[in-house]
Amino acid sequence: MRYLESRKNLTGSACGIAGIVLSFTGAAGSLWPVIVVALYAAGALIAPPERPPAPAFPDAAEQLDALRSDFTTLRAYLAEVELPPAAAGRLSELDTLFEALLEPGWVSDPDHLHMLARAVRQDVPEAVDTFVRTRWWSRVAPGSEPPERHLERQLSALHEEAGRIAAALQDAEAIRQEAHTRYLEERGKS
């Protein structure tokens, strides 16, 4: 069925019809079936190839909705994990920052969205899971650096990264506000 609607078949059919018209005018003579088939084949060969449809990737709003859902899943996971007070406090700050950034209408830049997705889907779960696993081993074989320090450093680095996104959004809104003020002032002078 796909071939019947293809460019190759349609072009070949148009050329084949031209061959039938030639046979009715008498220009093809007794070889008209060969000419019709040859014209169909030539048309099918010169037709442009089919283009596959462009992939439909989710837009920023759909990605943000999926990320919010993943953030809810991450929160449920983190609620079950026992963390030391310092790391729990740092994680709470990070959670608040993520929650603010994931509000609809704020993050639309693909790079910022990618950084948040990586943090929510990979970095935070991996940091916490590694802490939980390492903490167990450090009880068995003491003497190494406490895993709490690494977790706090990892959460601090993630907080700084999310803070840079928030600062960029704040700068963008400040520029937008200044531009609107200039526009209104210029409009008032006209």
Q: List Cβ neighbours of 138 (8 Å cut-off, separation of 6 or more).
A: 144, 146, 147
Q: With cut-offs at 50, 70 and 90, classify the pLDDT of residue 143.
A: low
pLDDT digits (tens, 9 = 90+) for 147-173: 888 899 999 999 999 999 999 988 988
Q: How confident is the model at residue 137 (pLDDT cuts 50, 70, 90)?
A: low
pLDDT tens figures, 38-89: 989 998 888 888 888 888 877 878 888 999 999 999 999 999 999 989 999 9
pLDDT at 140 over 60: no
Every domain of the chain and the residues it spans: 7-46, 60-189
Give the pLDDT of residue 31.
Answer: 83
Q: What is the pLDDT of residue 88?
A: 92
108 and 59 in contact (C-beta within 8 Å)? Answer: no
Is residue 97 within 8 Å of 71, Cβ to Cβ?
no
In this structure, are residues 46 and 9 in contact, taking their beta carbons and an 8 Å threshold? Answer: no
